[in-house]
Amino acid sequence: MTLATLSDVLQPALKHKYAVAGLVTLGWEDMRAFVAAAEAEDVPVILQAGPSCREHTPLPILGRMFRHLAENANVPVVAHLDHGYTSEDCRIAIDSGFTSVMFDGSRKPLAENIAQTAAIADMAHAAGVSCEGEIGFVGYAGGEVSAGTDPAEAAQFARDTGVDAMAISVGNVHLQQDKEGGLDMDRIRAIEAVTSVPLVIHGGSGVPVAQRTALAQTSNVCKFNIGTELRMAFGEALRDAVNADPARFDRVQILKETHDPVMAATRRVLQAFKGA
């Protein structure tokens, strides 16, 4: 059994200068391919259930799916709640067997974000579960605009919440389909100077691959969330499978053909986060 907490995989990454991928799942087909890719690359992986995934499949089911994959994997696998917006979201995830929860209070005033995140971190730690928090709102491509993380606020947040990982806003954007952007290195260095908590980049699909590698090897950024990039790979593989035979209707046979392309795309993602 290789079920792990977020802290179990991020502390070694922080020490040895590499990063771990938080892969945003939508269903059985992609999460299975993600674990297969991690085994092929011999690296840990974080399976993440975000809001859209939870709308489709209840958390108790997702917890069992994640844990089944972890128990049969030969690399560490974290079962992680991504963007829990309430204490109840996080409590249900913990009760459902998740080993890590992320509370997103980034839209709230600083004091409220700290107080709520600290309470959830206490709840998680009492259950032997890790907790990730977010300071500085990370926006969405074509939607809400980001509010960059203030280093002084990041130091206060890390100190007062006791989180195991801290998501920051440093030029990253959720749902970005290209890699034309880049992260604010000066802001990252300023945050690193005031806290030793492992840092997390949400919206990692929009970060150029070379910068992902550089940050993994030279900074305290230990976790990159990757969703859009792999959803695009899945969508392309699914279209190819459907169009290959318009008369075919068995979805299990169709979905099986997404496995190898998604696994290959995931391996490329994971390779960028390895240490020097």
Contacts of 126 (CB under 8 A, 6+ apart): none
Contact (Cβ atoms closer than 8 angstroms) between residue 141 and residue 155: no
Is residue 82 among the annotated active site residues?
Answer: yes
Q: From the CB of residue 66, how many other CB atoms can be counted at a distance below 10 Å?
A: 26
CA dihedral 121, 191, 221, 71 (to 10 degrees): -10
Is the torsion defined by CA of 50, 185, 111, 8 positive or negative? positive
Give the containing element (helix H, strand E) for 224: strand 221-226
Amino acid at 125: H
Cα–Cα dist 58/79, whole Å: 14
Closest among 198, 29, 189, 175 to 102, alpha carbons compared: 198
Strand 165-168 versus strand 77-84 pairing type: unpaired
- Catalytic hit among 8, 42, 82, 245: 82
Active site residues: 82
